[in-house]
Amino acid sequence: MINASGMPGDGLKLTPPPLPAVREAIRERRLAMGFAAVGIAVFVVAAILNPYNEHGAPLRFGTHRQLGLPACGLASLTGVGCPSCGMTTTFSLLAHGDLRAAWRTNWAGVVVAGLLGVGTVWFLLVAAGLPPGRCTADEVVKVMTMLGMAAATVRWLGLLGCAGWAVRS
């Protein structure tokens, strides 16, 4: 049988996907590319920073000061750091291969770095053309953010309890 184009075939005409679907796929790939770039940049910056003091011992916090950022205001006022205190140092320790020191510094930062690492790989695959499946790039970022915030909050509540800030009933 000859199809509409004059070529042998079963007579079925191939049609391109609808334009909105193509636009959505392009949008997803661009978003994934942007999120992957951010993830890679975070790990590159973490690798450039020095998470050790002048004696070679791992820092517990303060690595972000190398980026020109101020000290944690909450820690300055209360003596207890914020939920993200130590995360930059943790990321930098991980980038330098010091998992034990990273975990001691801020275990939630290790969780967040793991989420970011897995997410970055997923974003790279989607940006390269892998179908994202049922998840959109926006949804993946939301889930990563919620899980990271939950880990940081649990750790922080533990620090507050250890510092005597636990609410008494």
Handedness of CA 34, 111, 132, 146 (dihedral sign): negative
Reported as a single tens digit per residue, the pLDDT across 46-98 is: 999 999 999 999 999 899 999 999 999 988 888 888 889 999 999 999 999 99
Please tell me the distance from the alpha carbon of residue 140 to that of residue 77, in angstroms, as a whole number: 35
pTM metric for this prediction? 0.81
In this predicted structure, the answer to whether residue 168 has a pLDDT above a threshold of 70 is no
Reported as a single tens digit per residue, the pLDDT across 114-125 is: 999 999 999 999
Is 86 exposed, middle or buried, given 0-12, 13-18 or 19+ CB atoms closer than 10 A? buried
Reported as a single tens digit per residue, the pLDDT across 7-48 is: 555 656 677 767 787 788 889 999 999 999 999 999 999 999
Please tell me the distance from the alpha carbon of residue 90 to that of residue 84, in angstroms, as a whole number: 10
User: In degrees, to the nearest 5, what angle opens at C-alpha 140 toward C-alphas 136 and 145?
Assistant: 150
pLDDT at 6: 56
Half-sphere exposure of 126 (CA within 13 A, CB side): 28
Domain ranges of the chain: 26-161
pLDDT at 164: 61
| Residue 56: φ, ψ to 5° | 90, 5
